[in-house]
Amino acid sequence: MKPGLSLRVSQHLALTPQLQQSIRLLQLSTLELASEVEQMLDDNPFLEREDDAPVDEERPLTAPPASDGGRNSEDATESLAESPDAEGDGALKDLDCVLTESWDGDGSMDIGADDGEWGADSAPRPNPADDDERDPGERGGPQETLAEHLHRQALAFRLAPEDMAALHFLIESLNDDGYLEDSIAQLAATLLDDDDGLEQMEELVHRFTLALKLLQSLEPAGVGARNLAECLTLQLKSRQADHALPASEAAAIASALKLCAQHGALDLLARRDWRKLAQLTGESEDALRAAAACITRLEPKPGRRFTDVERDVIVPDVIVTAAGSGPTQRFRVQINPDVVPRLRVHELYASALRGGKGEGHQALSQRLQEARWFIKNIQQRFDTILRVSQAIVERQRNFFIHGEIAMRPMVQRELAEELGVHESTISRVTTAKYMATPQGTFELKHFFGSALGTETGGNASSTAVRALIKQFIAAENPAKPLSDGQIAEMLKEQGIDCARRTVAKYREGLRIPVASLRKPA
């Protein structure tokens, strides 16, 4: 073969750094975005917070309802004229928008009953500065942790320094549920060196054993247990210490203690296998049922009430409020102003850079451009979330009025085709983003569901079917709970073709036990 030169024309897609940042910001959750903003503020001197901007100067992030594209609403046209992105969904399609150096992003839109017009009488945006609208977590004091609670009780013990140190070590070794996951020997081994002998090991195990007994005597009852059976036993013994108990309850506690002491008895209890339990424990079925009722009143996770509830607080990205009632009811969709970072380019630094020259001028210009890109991409992120949320509210309007029972089937591909974007964009927007609605707070993915066939030839949403299953089980006779097959027959009577296996999958997704476990003891 001879070496030679040739020209060839080809096309390829290149993701610019700006586009890569836009995609990455789109898929971040609210907490991750806040962390990203803090990191950028620390790294880029041209970026600063716009905390002192008056409310009247805020540029609302708006978009016309998808039903008419904003062409039938004068208010919508005026709002778009004020917005840099006058192309509507164009910014969503190509992930581009007008470059702005300052944006605070208080976004909102109204979805009407029929024509999707902007509602002038809708509820105003709450003022974050109002004390009544602040996060309850900000008004409440810090919650006491399980370790702090136990350390405070341990102060009542008069122990030698070594024994107190052993008790403190065990307290700090507890998990969030109040259990001691490692054995005494394992905990002791973590404090010894290879040069320490067997005598030091035995002494440390002895101290830990005594400290464990003290730990298990503290409140809440059951703390310091190594397994569920020991946790329940500690709580039962704590109740048994009350000498004023009725004889029937004292007998039930004695049977429950005997049940917890038998290996494998709790597994049989979970399956309500009274016959095998009676053979294993030597108790009558009536006594075992009374013991089971006693056990169900215990707390399997003693540290549950000390768990930091702030970790479970969900801050919605989108807020949906209702205006009016009946067929004229409208829904206003707005970006939660509390999650939108208020950023701008530092004008003093930017002005000083305009007339500068020198070796570092190009690097500083690059940093300034990065700050502008970052502000633009954050604006684009909330533009996209707002428009996707609007489309969801329009498609699932009946859900916001009647609840989950009226949910329509919808998949991400359908919404992507409607908005003219790729399906992966819808996936990024709806992941870890939440919407506060009159029906509750839901992840955006909650509004998507597969379709099940009906006798009329239409489709029913899998979310609506789950709601029906929940209603059937809530109204069932407790003495004769419904089986999955019976629920499938009931759905068929409603015109919904749903197999028994599908019912079982939906029931498990709702965390509802099988019929045999729903039957009272």
Give the whole-number percent of the chain exceeding pLDDT 70: 77
Mean pLDDT confidence for 229-248: 86
Mean pLDDT confidence for 104-131: 40
For the ranges 20-34, 99-113, 163-177, 358-372, the lowest mean pLDDT is seen at 99-113
Return the pLDDT at 457.
Answer: 62
Q: Which of 324, 314, 268 is nearest to 291 (CA)?
A: 268
Phi/psi at 330 (5° precision): -115, 160
Please state whether beta strands 343-345 and 47-49 pair in parallel, antiparallel, or not at all (unpaired).
antiparallel
Which residues touch 144 (CB under 8 Å, ≥6 apart)?
Answer: 306
For the ranges 159-168, 172-181, 312-321, 454-463, the lowest mean pLDDT is seen at 454-463
What does the pLDDT look like over 289-321, one tens digit per residue?
Answer: 888 888 888 889 998 888 755 455 788 999 999
Return the pLDDT at 319.
Answer: 94
For the ranges 122-131, 191-200, 427-436, 488-497, the lowest mean pLDDT is seen at 122-131
Q: Determine contact, residues 469/506, Cβ cutoff 8 Å.
A: yes
CA distance 389 to 23: 18
For the ranges 80-89, 399-408, 429-438, the lowest mean pLDDT is seen at 80-89
The secondary structure element, H or E, covering residue 332 is: strand 330-335
Q: Quick one: CA dihedral 159, 162, 165, 169, positive or negative?
A: negative
CA distance 50 to 369: 18
Identify any residues that bridge with 437 across adjacent strands, giving them in sequence order. 440
Query: 3 or 170: whose pLDDT is higher?
Result: 170
Mean pLDDT confidence for 432-461: 82
What mean pLDDT is reported for the chain? 77
The secondary structure element, H or E, covering residue 453 is: strand 451-453
Q: Which of 317, 316, 326 is nearest to 401 (CA)?
A: 326
Residue 217 has pLDDT above 70, yes or no: yes
Give the whole-number percent of the chain exceeding pLDDT 90: 16
Q: Determine contact, residues 280/272, Cβ cutoff 8 Å.
A: no
Q: How is the beta sheet containing 47-49 ordered, strand by strand?
A: 47-49, 343-345, 102-103
Q: Determine contact, residues 452/496, Cβ cutoff 8 Å.
A: yes
Q: Determine contact, residues 332/321, Cβ cutoff 8 Å.
A: yes
Q: Where are the domains of the chain?
A: 17-122+318-397, 146-305, 450-518
The secondary structure element, H or E, covering residue 494 is: none
Residue with tokens 């919650």, as numbered in its chain: 143
CA distance 192 to 195: 8
- Produce one character per residue of 482-521: b if its CB has 16 or more CB atoms within 10 Å, e if not: bebebbbebbeeeebebeeebbbebbeeeebeebeeeeee
Return the pLDDT at 452.
Answer: 76
Tokens linked to 109: 């839109």
Residue 33 has pLDDT above 80, yes or no: yes
CA torsion, points 59, 61, 63, 65, in degrees to nearest 10?
-110
Domain 450-518 top-level CATH class: mainly alpha
User: In which band, very low, low, confident or very high, does the pLDDT at 55 lie, cut at 50, 70 and 90?
Assistant: very low
Residue 229 has pLDDT above 60, yes or no: yes
Query: 170 or 118: whose pLDDT is higher?
Result: 170
User: In which band, very low, low, confident or very high, does the pLDDT at 341 lie, cut at 50, 70 and 90?
Assistant: very high
Pick left, alpha or beta for residue 371 (phi over 0 → left; psi -120 to 50 → alpha; otherwise beta): alpha
Return the pLDDT at 356.
Answer: 65
For the ranges 114-123, 133-142, 500-509, the lowest mean pLDDT is seen at 114-123
Within 13 A of 293's CA, how many CA atoms are on the CB side?
A: 14
Q: Determine contact, residues 408/453, Cβ cutoff 8 Å.
A: no
